[in-house]
Amino acid sequence: MDAEALRHYGHQVVDWIANYIQSVHTRPVLAQVKPGDIQDMLPSHPPSQGEEMDQILADVERIIVPGLTQWNSGRFMGYFGVTSAGPGILANMLEGAFNVSRMLWKTAPAATELEQVTLDWLRQMLGLPAPLFGMIHHNSAITNVLAAAREFVPGLHIRQQGLAGRKEMPRLRFYASEEAHSSLEKAAILLGLGLESLRKIETDDAYRINVEALDQAIREDLREGWWPFAVVATVGTTSTTSVDPVESIADLCERYGLWLHVDAAYAGVAALMPEKRWVLRGCERADSLSINPHKWLFTPFHCSVLYTRRPQALRATFSLTPDYLQNTESRSGQAINLMDYDTSLPHGFPALKLWMTLRYFGYDGLVANIAEHCRLARLFADWVEASSDWELLFPTHLSVVCFRAHPWTIQNEERLDHLNERVLNRVNASGRCFLSATRLKGRYTLRLAIGNLRTHEEEVHLAWNELHTALRQELGATPT
Ligand code: PLP
């Protein structure tokens, strides 16, 4: 494609994107397709001749877009609300144009240094103390963290000697609450530690880790020959957004010499708001901390930030320079080569979208939007509390509401579970808005998650009306 054609189609695509964003609320939020529909619409053989760009773009509109669940719609309120805002969309276009790999400083000096500066801006906005090394990953990078944490244990030398066949190797253990994210289990599998290496600790009534139970578990494991090496605290659990008591966990980690990682993937950015700064209390004592701007900081996927006070531990775990990547800057120690801190060569220029987002909104703009999301969630929670047919299942303190339908005519928990599942399926199938669900203490729980910049009071009202309609239809359909 020559420059003129790129200009022509580039303008066309930008126009299309602007129209799409403007009208995304008119599209069904949940893709109205069945498994296999999209495949059936696509040729099963690759093209032998190049095709016209007009035809390709027409197929994007005709086949791809209807097959998408519209995460970028203000009516998407499932899982955690996310936004790809304008600055990030434009940054992704530029990133595609530059197509750099920041494996070495010299292969992308601006990408490497902008990442350091931007993450230091974010650190300042979050009120975290310097120095803190930061790097952007595709996801929360818990596998990297646990690999570094176990390498940090004196005498194990797993990087060099591995785990297999070593009879003297203690059984390693790490801890998190039963509400922690499933990426921990995946990391344990991937690192060859096995699922048993993760000991899940019970939570209190507010779904926070029970620190006394954690202490007991560590002592018990020590007695039984396990080797505890890390604790993962969660600031903003996936189901409820509850916040573990990081300070008390940090005390334990210091006492037992354990690596403390804080998973603040969703809720970390709440600390931008002065009144919510408490969510990161104690995190200055963590060895590492992850926060995902691709969740609640209006930045498109992928942008997950890993901060650490111990970059040398990540280097000791991953640094490896083959002959073909030798470079004078690294030998002189003058420059950071980001490949030294990751499992694979870090391609791309992810700091660009975060930098452009932070500059476009500014601290005040970010705080205003996050605070508005919390207000909207509180408003919805108030409606739930005021209604005799619904109940809150967790006090709303950030931008997620956990609730369920609970008409007085139904008291049986199993029937309530089924009722709520059917209500959710009805609401989502309508395509008018999208919510998700979880289980809290065994109870099927609906979740309304606000985090999209296009979610306003109108969308929250719409969701509430849809829920009411679905409940009425279900109660009409199912004799109580
Ligand atoms: N941690 C928490 C608490 C989460 O809720 C999630 C996802 O929702 C993750 C980690 C993983 O997020 P990601 O894969 O975007 O890094």
Atom of ligand 1 nearest to the CA of 237: 3
Nearest-CA residue for atom 5 of ligand 1: 238
Atom of ligand 1 nearest to the CA of 301: 15
What is the 239 CA–ligand 1 centroid distance (Å)? 11
What is the 421 CA–ligand 1 centroid distance (Å)? 23
How far is 288 from 190, CA to CA, in rounded Å?
20
Give Cβ neighbours of residue 209 (< 8 Å, ≥ 6 apart).
176, 177, 179, 201, 202, 203, 233, 234, 244, 245, 249
What is the 181 CA–ligand 1 centroid distance (Å)? 6
Q: Mutate which of 234, 239, 263 to test ligand 1's pocket (most atoms within 8 Å of Cβ)? A: 263
What is the 363 CA–ligand 1 centroid distance (Å)? 24
Nearest to 135 by CA among 111, 159, 157: 111
Amino acid 309 reads: R
Q: Mutate which of 146, 203, 238, 299 to test ligand 1's pocket (most atoms within 8 Å of Cβ)? A: 238
Which domains occur in the chain, in start order?
1-30+69-99+361-480 (3.90.1150.170), 100-347 (3.40.640.10)
Atom of ligand 1 nearest to the CA of 238: 5
Burial class (CB in 10 A: 0-12, 13-18, 19+), 307: buried
Give Cβ neighbours of residue 363 (< 8 Å, ≥ 6 apart).
125, 272
Give me 211's structure tokens.
């620190």
Q: What is the pLDDT of residue 480?
A: 47
User: DSSP letter at 399?
Assistant: S
What is the 40 CA–ligand 1 centroid distance (Å)? 32
Give me 294's structure tokens.
């691709």
Cα of 223 vs its chain's centroid, Å: 36
What is the 291 CA–ligand 1 centroid distance (Å)? 9
Atom of ligand 1 nearest to the CA of 267: 3
The CA distances from residue 291 to 182, 262, 326, in Å, are: 16, 9, 32
Atom of ligand 1 nearest to the CA of 138: 16
Per-residue pLDDT in tens (0 to 9) along the chain, 480 residues:
999 999 999 999 999 999 999 999 999 999 999 999 999 999 999 999 999 999 999 999 999 999 999 999 999 999 999 999 999 999 999 999 999 999 999 999 999 999 999 999 999 999 999 999 999 999 989 999 999 999 999 999 999 999 989 999 999 999 999 999 999 999 999 999 999 999 999 999 999 999 999 999 999 999 999 999 999 999 999 999 999 999 999 999 999 999 999 999 999 999 999 999 999 999 999 999 999 999 999 999 999 999 999 999 999 999 999 988 998 887 777 899 999 999 999 999 999 999 999 999 999 999 999 999 999 999 999 999 999 999 999 999 999 999 999 999 999 999 999 999 999 999 999 999 999 999 999 999 999 999 999 999 999 999 999 999 999 999 997 654
Nearest-CA residue for atom 4 of ligand 1: 238
Nearest-CA residue for atom 13 of ligand 1: 139
Which value, to the nearest 10 degrees, does the dihedral of the CA atoms of residues 364, 368, 374, 375 take? Answer: 150
Phi, psi (deg, nearest 5) at residue 393: -110, 0
Nearest to 156 by CA among 166, 146, 142: 166
Atom of ligand 1 nearest to the CA of 295: 15
Q: Mutate which of 137, 266, 288, 307 to test ligand 1's pocket (most atoms within 8 Å of Cβ)? A: 266
What is the 54 CA–ligand 1 centroid distance (Å)? 38
pTM: 0.96
Check: CB of residue 416 under 8 Å from CB of residue 389: no
Atom of ligand 1 nearest to the CA of 304: 16
Helix, coil or strand: residue 460: helix
**8-23 as b/e: b if 16+ CB within 10 A:** ebeeebeeeeeeebee
3-state helix, strand, coil in the chain (%, to 5): 50, 15, 35
Cα of 63 vs its chain's centroid, Å: 28
Give me 77's structure tokens.
């309120």
Which residue(s) pair with 405 in the sheet? 390
User: DSSP letter at 182?
Assistant: T
Beta strand pairing status for 133-137 and 304-308? antiparallel
What is the 265 CA–ligand 1 centroid distance (Å)? 5
Which residues have C-beta atoms less than 6 Å from ligand 1?
A: 80, 139-140, 181, 183, 234, 236-238, 263, 265-266, 292, 304
What is the 82 CA–ligand 1 centroid distance (Å)? 12
What is the 79 CA–ligand 1 centroid distance (Å)? 10
Atom of ligand 1 nearest to the CA of 141: 16
What is the 328 CA–ligand 1 centroid distance (Å)? 37
Angle value at C-alpha 209, between 393 and 182, nearest 5 degrees? 80
Q: Mutate which of 82, 240, 295 to test ligand 1's pocket (most atoms within 8 Å of Cβ)? A: 295
What is the 223 CA–ligand 1 centroid distance (Å)? 33
User: DSSP letter at 193?
Assistant: -
Check: CB of residue 402 under 8 Å from CB of residue 394: yes
What is the 302 CA–ligand 1 centroid distance (Å)? 12
